[in-house]
Chain A
Amino acid sequence: EAGVTQFPSHSVIEKGQTVTLRCDPISGHDNLYWYRRVMGKEIKFLLHFVKESKQDESGMPNNRFLAERTGGTYSTLKVQPAELEDSGVYFCASSQRGSPLHFGNGTRLTVT
């Protein structure tokens, strides 16, 4: 089966610009998660979708971050406007209920 795919793999933008990250989960996985790792720190939860519904968005840093999962398939995470502290690696993961997470390769975001 195809794994979780993320696009782009790298993004370099200037402070104040907008960036949209995309995640395609494994087909049939209802659960989709976004995580972020800032350099040297732990992987932190951002939010969790079950199908197209936001189950938990308690980890979203602020209202500059907007995640969507229209139709319950792929998801996008938009950062607008980007700030320097948003730099990091953004991981997407998907799972069936009760199963381990399957991760994508991540998007490395650099805000300059």
Chain B
Amino acid sequence: AQSVTQLGSHVSVSEGALVLLRCNYSSSVPPYLFWYVQYPNQGLQLLLKYTSAATLVKGINGFEAEFKKSETSFHLTKPSAHMSDAAEYFCAVSFPTGNQFYFGTGTSLTVIP
């Protein structure tokens, strides 16, 4: 069975501090991994994706994520939080053999001035 676990439904960081949002997956086959962001009253936007190329993936707005197979993780990081980063973040997994995407429960990020 495939699943995605996001540790921490709410994360608060100070402006300028490191952002770390955790995502672990379980899969019996090599996955594709994604991070999506949802700003208030908007749809989900793709932040970045891993599709079996470089394990360190850079996305938009200064975010990056590293695929670690040994840890089955795909944590999202940003060196310095900005107020505009406040949003909900979703980790998702899909597979080359199919078209279905599986999402985590989401992590709400608050940035404190």
Contact = CB atoms under 8 A, between A and B. Distances in A.
- A is bound by B: yes
Interface of A: 3-4, 6, 31, 33, 35, 40-45, 48, 50, 55-56, 91, 93, 95, 97-98, 100-106
B43 interface: yes
Judged by DSSP, the binding face of A is strand
Given A56-B100, A100-B34, A103-B36, A4 B105 contact: no
B22 to A, nearest CB: 15
B18 interface: no
B74 interface: no
Given A93-B44, A103-B44, 10 more contacts: A35-B103, A40-B9, A42-B105, A45-B101, A91-B44, A101-B101, A102-B46, A103-B36, A105-B41, A105-B42
Interface of B: 4, 9, 34, 36, 41-46, 49, 90, 92, 96, 99-106
Nearest to A41: B105
Contact of A42 (B41, B99, B103): B103
A14 to B, nearest CB: 24
A56 B49 CA distance: 24
A69 to B, nearest CB: 15
Given A40-B9, A103-B36, A91 B43 contact: yes
A3 B9 CA distance: 28
Contacts of A105: 41-43
Contact of A97 (B34, B42, B44, B99): B99
A42 B106 contact: yes
Contacts of A98: 96
